Structure 1
Amino acid sequence: MYHDLKRYYHWVGMKRDVVDWVSKCNTCSLVKAEHQVAGGLLLSLPIPEWKWDRITMDFVVGLPIWRTYDTICVIMDRLTKSANFLTIKKIDGAAVFG
């Protein structure tokens, strides 16, 4: 946190003040690296054998409204990297997977 703050602020005794404040912060103590579960090994995704056998999806949200649409659904084939883009109305999880 000190390194982030020192880019914008400086005062005498700043490092000591930041260390003192962080040591008293409940949130800071809960998210310390020693309390985090170590991640496992990275696993590669299986290589698809056929077009459109494995896809990835993502949503581009918060766009300006155009003809009642404000979201783009991106569906991408992992083998060929070809993508389809669908304009859709504002979404929530229930609308997509319901």
Structure 2
Amino acid sequence: MTHGTLLYKGKLVLPSESKWTQQIMVECHSSAEGGHAGAFRTMKRIANGFFWRGMKKAVYDFVAGCLVCQKHKYQALKPAGLLQPLAIPDLIWEDISMDFISGLPKSRGFDVLFVIVDSSPSTATSSF
């Protein structure tokens, strides 16, 4: 307590259900100064002067729900090049891939599938 104000590491402490938490998020994110800079930068701006329980989750949820940010999202990656077809293997079992499918309901005590795929064209007529 300093001069009747509750501080935590020099930051003003607010109750998480306070009407001011919403207003602070709006000012630090949606104002001209905030500039819709994203959750991380908005969090840093707020954390400079304020603290409340669940502040990080509240800020990230607020920014995720911002309609302006959703409408003006852009792709920061350069466009991918043209797709190149893969070579078709000549022999069976020359090019295989394996994967596990998990999270299935239990059947006879098992809940995972082990899948093996042979990409050679002649395997369609093969039998095991």
Aligning the two structures, in what range does the TM-score lie when normalised by the shorter sequence?
0.3 to 0.5
Quick check: which has more Rg, 1 or 2? Answer: 2
The TM-score with structure 1 as length reference comes to 0.46
The TM-score with structure 2 as length reference comes to 0.37
